[in-house]
Amino acid sequence: MSSKKKTVHEILEDEDFTSLSGQKNSISIILTVLELVLYFGFIALIAFNKPFLAQKIVGEGATTIGIPIAVGTILLSWVLTGVYIFWANSKYDSLVKKVKEKIEG
Amino acid sequence: MPQAQQTAQAAQTMIGQANPTAIMFFVLFVLITLGITWWAAKRTRTTKDFYAAGRSITGFQNGLALAGDYMSAASFLGIAGLVSTKGYDGLIYSVGWLVGWPIVMFLISEPLRNLGKYTFADVVAYRLNQRPIRAAAAAGSLVVVLTYLIAQMVGAGTLIKLMFGLPFELAIVITGALMISYVLFGGMIATTWVQIIKAVLLLGGATLLVILTLGKLNFSYVNLFNQAATATPLGQKFLEPGGLVTSPVDAFSLGLALMFGTAGLPHILMRFYTVPDAKAARKSVFVATGFIGYFYILTVTIGFGAAVLVGQKVIMGIDAGGNMAGPLLAEALGGNLFLGFLSAVAFATILAVVSGLTLAGASAFSHDLFVGVIRRGQASEKDEVKVAKIATVGLGATAILLGILFKGQNVAFLVGLTFAIAASANFPALLMSITWKKFTTAGAVTSIYTGLIVAVILLILSPTVWVDIVHKSEAAAVAKQVKTIEDATKAKIADIEKQRVGGLNAAKVAEIDAAIAAVKKDAEPQIKTAKEQMPKAIFPLKNPGIYSMAAAFLIGILVSLMAPDKAAEAKFEGEKLREYIGIGAED
């Protein structure tokens, strides 16, 4: 029991694991903050600067600038999940594999 | 004249009458899904099958099922309706429903899959005392499931009555009986496939409707918006933000509840256990976010299209809230066949969503309350599945009963409440348990109950319930009194205006203007006094999210720091390894 516990502790101290968990935490926090800024930025625009969103886009008739901004918020949210997937598939998975190999010896 | 107009409009639409095409499509859907349930029943033996579809669902399939769980009939018909009646404000509203998904992905999906087994309580209880945590988490889950279920059931009864002409009670009983059959016999396997089929039908139907709409408008969004700007009495304002966001704090509070509430919905969280590993879990969120975003863009297009091609007068003549905008547009563009198809899809949508909710409620009951609390973790698989099935029937019956009991009530506030509770009771405890070493049992339990109680109490004291429901008659009386004064003033002004005939001299015109101004000035204090009688909410915000979430986090942190739990801290290392690497994760 105690030897197993020590192994877990050792793995957690291992620089491969700290780099893996550190990167995962940073990516998660950065992307979460970006999403918060994106959505609440949009809400703040509506609350504090309605005339900006009500402007017509030049050359597009009646379409207001608020329409692409709202649709853009939806699309960008999806793109952010794509960024995470891209990072996780290309880096995280290989780091996990590396640490797993160390544990299994 | 308005009477004649109304009958003319009613004659143009099949909505509200028993529609053979709709019934045919719906019966077809029911037959196929019952066939799947029969197939699934043979594959549902163990708890893993019943709660988690044997973890055999692929990331892409689960993404579709998650999207299916989230795209309710209320959001399909409601958002299209809101856009068709309010324009841009409806678009703002739809954005809020998507932004929770990236949060689910970045913070919750992988740790949840790696650490849990069947419910999110597994994760919160991972290194803490099982019984109190499971009792609290089950309470949080069941309240969320029940409030959401009532909202869906009442909405279902009303919509089915509108679309098929079925009596409210019958619609609810049919919905309830089918939902119980799927979950009882087919467990998560059947529920997932019902969800996937419904998601495909809904996305396909909405896509077709958008193609037909744009086809009428030279496939040009610019054209659509140009016409929308002249189609309604709002004119260009139809494409500008209106009255939806007036108080920034209110908007912020609702935004928080929507964002973090998604990450606390038990029926969504439970889906992450149906996939084989964390990689598939994360992929499913990417797929779900894409489909849900696409769905909202379609729905918004349908709303604008209905305003242009059907017209607000007709839409609001059928249903003041605009809920029939989508079906009316389908009827206008694709005739009775397409209307029937879309109505059946809406019914199927309701069914799929309530099935997912029932399964989540049943698992909280059996896995957390029965096994975790009553049997202290010691129960055979057979017993657990049996209790889950009993809970399914019990929950289904409760949902039918409450649905009928709440008939005709304004239940829109329940959806806001659901997200506020999910964001305050479930999400903070879940997040702290996977990220914070010093989180304790007492901290988790007090955090969950605080979030739950604060959200419920503040919502009752908020304008949504306190003014609109509790003091509904007083509010209506005041509104009526104000209207009486305003009408009298208007009549007086109209009377004076009559003196304004051609060829008056300037002095006379000034005299008339002065008389009108005097009448207006006279009415002002009267209206003001009348409005002061308006019942005021004790809590000012419409959604309590900002306070209830903050309270849940604060209490969780304070209680954990006041009484440290060394045993739980010691287990954090093992949890961390499993959370990041997936070693020991349930397979």
User: Which residue of chain A has the CA closest to B226?
Assistant: A62
Alpha-carbon distance B27 to nearest alpha carbon in chain A (angstroms): 35
Judgement on whether residues B482 and B347 belong to the same structural domain of the protein: no
Q: Do B259 and A47 touch (CB under 8 A)?
A: no
Q: How many CA atoms lie within 13 A of B105 on its CB side?
A: 35
Alpha-carbon distance A33 to nearest alpha carbon in chain B (angstroms): 9
In-domain check, residue B42? no
Alpha-carbon distance B236 to nearest alpha carbon in chain A (angstroms): 7
Judgement on whether residues B318 and B401 belong to the same structural domain of the protein: yes
Judgement on whether residues B574 and B510 belong to the same structural domain of the protein: no
% of chain A exceeding 70 in pLDDT: 93
In-domain check, residue B48? no
| Average of per-residue pLDDT across A49-61 | 89
For B208-248, what is each residue's pLDDT tens digit?
999 999 999 999 999 999 999 999 999 999 999 987 777 88
**pLDDT, position A3:** 42
Q: The tokens of B60 are what?
A: 């892409």
Judgement on whether residues B483 and B522 belong to the same structural domain of the protein: yes
**pLDDT, position B9:** 47
In-domain check, residue B8? no
Query: Among residues 568-587 of chain B, which lie with CB inside 8 Å of chain A?
Result: 573-574, 576-577, 580-583
**pLDDT, position B5:** 43
Tell me which long-range contacts B395-399 makes (C-beta under 8 A, separation of at least 24): B395/B145, B395/B149, B395/B358, B395/B361, B395/B362, B395/B365, B396/B176, B396/B177, B396/B179, B396/B180, B396/B183, B396/B358, B397/B176, B397/B180, B398/B146, B399/B146, B399/B149, B399/B150, B399/B153, B399/B176, B399/B179, B399/B354, B399/B358
Judgement on whether residues B396 and B435 belong to the same structural domain of the protein: yes
Judgement on whether residues B415 and B514 belong to the same structural domain of the protein: no
Domain that holds residue B229: 59-471+538-581
Q: Do A39 and B99 touch (CB under 8 A)?
A: yes
For chain B, which ranges sit under pLDDT 70? 1-12
**pLDDT, position B11:** 43
Of B252, B289, B573, the CB nearest to A81: B289
Judgement on whether residues B217 and B268 belong to the same structural domain of the protein: yes
pLDDT > 50? residue A68: yes
For B329-345, what is each residue's pLDDT tens digit?
999 999 989 999 998 99
Q: Identify all chain A residues contacting B250, using CB atoms and an 8 Å cutoff.
A: none
Q: Do A46 and B279 touch (CB under 8 A)?
A: no
In-domain check, residue B5? no
**pLDDT, position B325:** 93
Number of domains in chain B: 2
Q: Identify all chain B residues contacting A9, using CB atoms and an 8 Å cutoff.
A: 573
In-domain check, residue B257? yes
Query: Among residues 40-99 of chain B, which lie with CB inside 8 Å of chain A?
Result: 88, 91-92, 94-96, 98-99
Q: Is B534 exposed, middle or buried (0-12, 13-18, 19+ CB in 10 A)?
A: middle
% of chain A exceeding 90 in pLDDT: 65
**pLDDT, position A105:** 67
Domain with B557 in it: what CATH number? 1.20.1730.10
Q: Do A8 and B573 touch (CB under 8 A)?
A: yes
In-domain check, residue B17? no
Q: Identify all chain B residues contacting A100, using CB atoms and an 8 Å cutoff.
A: 581, 583
**pLDDT, position B438:** 95
Interface with B, mutate which of A55, A77, A90 (most B CBs under 10 A): A77
In-domain check, residue B38? no
Q: Do B225 and A103 touch (CB under 8 A)?
A: no
In chain A, domain spans: 2-104
pTM: 0.90
Alpha-carbon distance A43 to nearest alpha carbon in chain B (angstroms): 7
pLDDT > 90? residue A36: yes
**pLDDT, position B12:** 65
Looking at this predicted complex, what is its ipTM?
0.93
Judgement on whether residues B514 and B569 belong to the same structural domain of the protein: no
Q: Do B102 and A31 touch (CB under 8 A)?
A: yes
Q: The tokens of A92 are what?
A: 């995280």
Q: Do B98 and A77 touch (CB under 8 A)?
A: yes
